[in-house]
C-alpha cells in the first residue's frame, strides 16, 4: 500500500499529542504523521512532503485554518482537509464547510468520528463503518441488496431528501443513499439513534407489542431527521430540509411507513429481520417463611427428638384406627396431655392432681 502523509496543525502541543496518539491506535504503518504549531511551520512541511490529509485548527497564530488550507491546496490539489475548532460561530462553520472540507470537529474532539473520517479520507479500510458486503457472493443476495439501495434512492428522489440510511442494531450502515450536511458526525449521530432504537424495542416489549411502532422526528438544525424502526435489528433514517414542516410532516411519515413496509419485505426475503420476543415471566418466589433448600436438606438428615420418635411410632398404630387425619392428631394431643413422654416432665393432669398449678385449689 502507498504511504499516506498526514499533517497535524495546532498551536497547542497537547492537542497535537492527542491527535497523534489517536492515529497511532489505527496501527497502520502506511500513515506518516507530521506536526506543526503554526501556519509557517505547516507550509514548510508541505513544501518538504506530499500531504494527503491536512488536520488543522481553524484559529492559528497569524493565519486561519481556511487560509492555510488554500496555501496547502496550491501545492497539493488532492489534499483532504479536516478542521478542528473550539469556536461555535455558525457562519465560521459554514465557511469551513463551503471550502469543501472533508470534516469539521468541535473541541473536545469525538475520537471515534475523527478516526472514521481519517480512514475514509485516506481511502483506508474503515474500522467504524466497514464496507458493506453480502453474506454470500451469490447473485441472489447481490440482487436483494441492490433492491434495498434502489428503494432508498427512490424515496430520496420522491421526497427530495438529502440522505436515507438503513442501519442495523450496532449502528452500522447496511444501505445508504446521499450524505448528511456534516458527514463527520455520522458515527456519533448513528450511535445515538441506535440507543433510541434499543429503547423503542424495550418499550415495545414492556407494552407487549407484536411489532415496534414508534416514530421519532427531529425538526430544524442542519436537517429535519425522521427515524423509524423497521424490525428489532434494523431502522431507517431520513435527513432533509422541510421534511418535518407542519404542511409536510404527515406526508413524510406516510411515505416513510410505506418505505418501511417495502424494506421489511426485502429483509424478510433475505432472512435477517429478527423477531420481537418477550421474556418469560420469572418463576414465583418461594414463600417468605420457606426454609432454604440447604436447610431443608439438613432437616431431612437430622435425627428426630425422642418425643417426636414416640409420636411417630404411635402414629403408625393409630393410623389404622383413625378415620381421618384430624382424628389422629386429636388422639395424639389427648395422649400427650395425659402423660409426658419425657420422664423429667410431668403432664398437665399430673400437675393438677398435685395442686401445683397457680390459681387452682
What is the CATH number for 187?
3.30.450.30
Regarding whether 182 and 299 lie in a shared domain, the answer is no
Q: Is the dihedral of CA 259, 262, 264, 267 positive or negative?
A: negative
Sequence-separated (6 or more) residues with CB below 8 Å from residue 191: 112, 171
Q: What angle do CA 43, 80, 157 make, to 5 degrees?
A: 155
- Of all residues in the chain, the percent with pLDDT exceeding 90 is 30
- Report pLDDT for 173: 82
Regarding whether 261 and 181 lie in a shared domain, the answer is yes
Asked which of 111-120, 164-173, 220-229, 336-345 is least confident by mean pLDDT, the reply is 336-345
Regarding whether 149 and 69 lie in a shared domain, the answer is no
Regarding whether 148 and 117 lie in a shared domain, the answer is no
Regarding whether 114 and 56 lie in a shared domain, the answer is yes
State pLDDT tens for residues 9-58: 999 999 999 999 989 888 888 899 999 999 999 999 999 999 999 999 99
CA-based nearest residue to 188, from 110, 108, 102, 83: 110
Question: Is the peptide bond prior to 14 cis by the omega test (within 30 degrees of 0)?
Answer: no
Cell of residue 105, nine digits: 470537529
Please tell me the distance from the alpha carbon of residue 186 to that of residue 192, in angstroms, as a whole number.
10
Q: What is the pTM of this model?
A: 0.48
Cell of residue 274, nine digits: 429478527
Regarding whether 318 and 245 lie in a shared domain, the answer is no
- Report pLDDT for 343: 53
Please tell me the distance from the alpha carbon of residue 222 to that of residue 268, in angstroms, as a whole number.
33
State pLDDT tens for residues 159-188: 999 999 998 887 788 888 888 887 767 877
- Domain final residue, candidates 68, 88, 122: 122
pLDDT band for position 308 (cuts 50, 70, 90): low
Regarding whether 199 and 107 lie in a shared domain, the answer is no
Give the full edge-to-edge strand order of the sheet including 163-168: 173-178, 163-168, 234-240, 224-231, 216-218
Spatial contact of 224 and 217, defined as CB atoms under 8 Å apart: yes
Q: With respect to residue 280, please indicate whether it lies within any of the assigned structural domains.
A: no
- Report pLDDT for 335: 55
- Domain final residue, candidates 89, 122, 155: 122
- Report pLDDT for 342: 53
- Report pLDDT for 236: 93
Regarding whether 172 and 234 lie in a shared domain, the answer is yes
More confident residue, 242 or 281: 242
Asked which of 22-31, 107-116, 139-148 is least confident by mean pLDDT, the reply is 139-148
Annotate 45-71 with b (16+ C-beta within 10 A) or e (fewer).
bbeeeebbbbbbbbebeebbbbebbee
Kind and range of the H or E element at 165?
Answer: strand 163-168
pLDDT over threshold 90, residue 218: yes
What residue numbers bound the domain in which 343 lies?
Answer: 293-354
Q: With respect to residue 283, please indicate whether it lies within any of the assigned structural domains.
A: no
Amino acid at each position: 500500500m502507498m504511504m499516506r502523509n498526514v499533517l497535524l496543525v495546532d498551536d497547542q502541543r497537547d492537542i497535537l499529542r492527542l491527535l497523534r496518539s489517536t492515529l497511532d491506535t489505527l496501527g497502520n504503518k502506511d500513515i506518516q504523521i507530521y506536526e506543526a504549531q503554526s501556519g509557517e511551520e505547516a507550509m514548510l512541511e508541505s513544501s518538504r512532503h506530499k500531504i494527503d490529509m491536512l488536520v488543522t485548527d481553524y484559529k492559528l497564530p497569524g493565519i486561519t485554518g481556511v487560509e492555510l488550507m488554500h496555501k496547502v491546496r496550491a501545492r497539493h490539489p488532492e489534499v483532504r482537509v479536516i478542521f478542528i475548532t473550539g469556536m461555535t460561530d455558525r457562519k465560521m462553520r459554514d465557511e469551513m464547510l463551503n471550502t469543501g472540507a472533508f470534516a469539521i470537529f468541535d473541541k473536545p474532539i469525538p475520537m471515534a468520528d475523527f478516526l472514521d473520517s481519517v480512514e475514509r479520507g485516506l481511502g483506508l479500510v474503515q474500522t467504524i463503518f466497514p464496507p458493506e458486503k453480502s453474506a454470500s457472493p451469490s447473485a441472489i443476495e447481490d440482487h436483494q441488496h441492490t433492491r434495498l439501495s434502489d428503494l432508498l434512492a427512490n424515496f430520496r428522489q420522491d421526497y427530495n431528501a438529502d440522505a436515507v440510511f438503513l442501519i442495523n442494531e450496532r449502528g452500522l450502515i447496511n444501505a445508504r443513499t446521499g450524505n448528511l450536511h456534516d458527514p463527520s458526525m455520522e458515527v456519533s449521530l448513528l450511535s445515538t439513534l441506535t440507543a433510541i432504537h434499543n429503547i423503542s424495542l424495550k418499550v415495545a416489549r414492556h407494552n407487549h407489542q407484536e411489532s415496534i411502532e414508534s416514530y421519532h422526528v427531529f425538526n430544524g438544525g442542519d436537517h429535519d431527521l425522521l427515524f423509524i424502526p423497521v424490525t428489532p435489528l434494523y431502522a431507517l433514517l431520513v435527513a432533509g430540509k422541510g421534511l418535518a414542516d407542519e404542511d409536510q410532516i404527515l406526508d413524510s411519515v406516510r411515505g416513510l411507513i410505506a418505505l418501511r413496509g417495502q424494506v421489511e419485505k426485502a429483509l424478510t426475503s433475505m432472512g435477517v429481520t429478527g423477531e420481537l420476543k418477550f421474556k418469560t415471566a420469572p418463576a414465583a418466589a418461594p414463600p417468605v417463611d420457606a426454609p432454604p433448600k440447604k436447610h431443608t436438606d439438613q432437616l431431612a438428615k437430622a435425627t428426630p427428638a425422642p418425643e417426636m420418635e414416640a409420636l411417630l411410632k404411635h402414629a403408625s398404630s393409630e393410623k389404622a384406627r383413625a378415620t381421618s387425619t384430624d382424628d389422629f392428631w386429636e388422639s395424639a394431643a389427648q395422649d400427650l396431655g395425659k402423660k409426658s413422654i419425657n420422664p423429667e416432665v410431668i403432664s398437665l393432669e399430673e400437675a393438677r392432681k398435685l395442686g401445683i398449678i397457680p390459681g387452682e385449689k
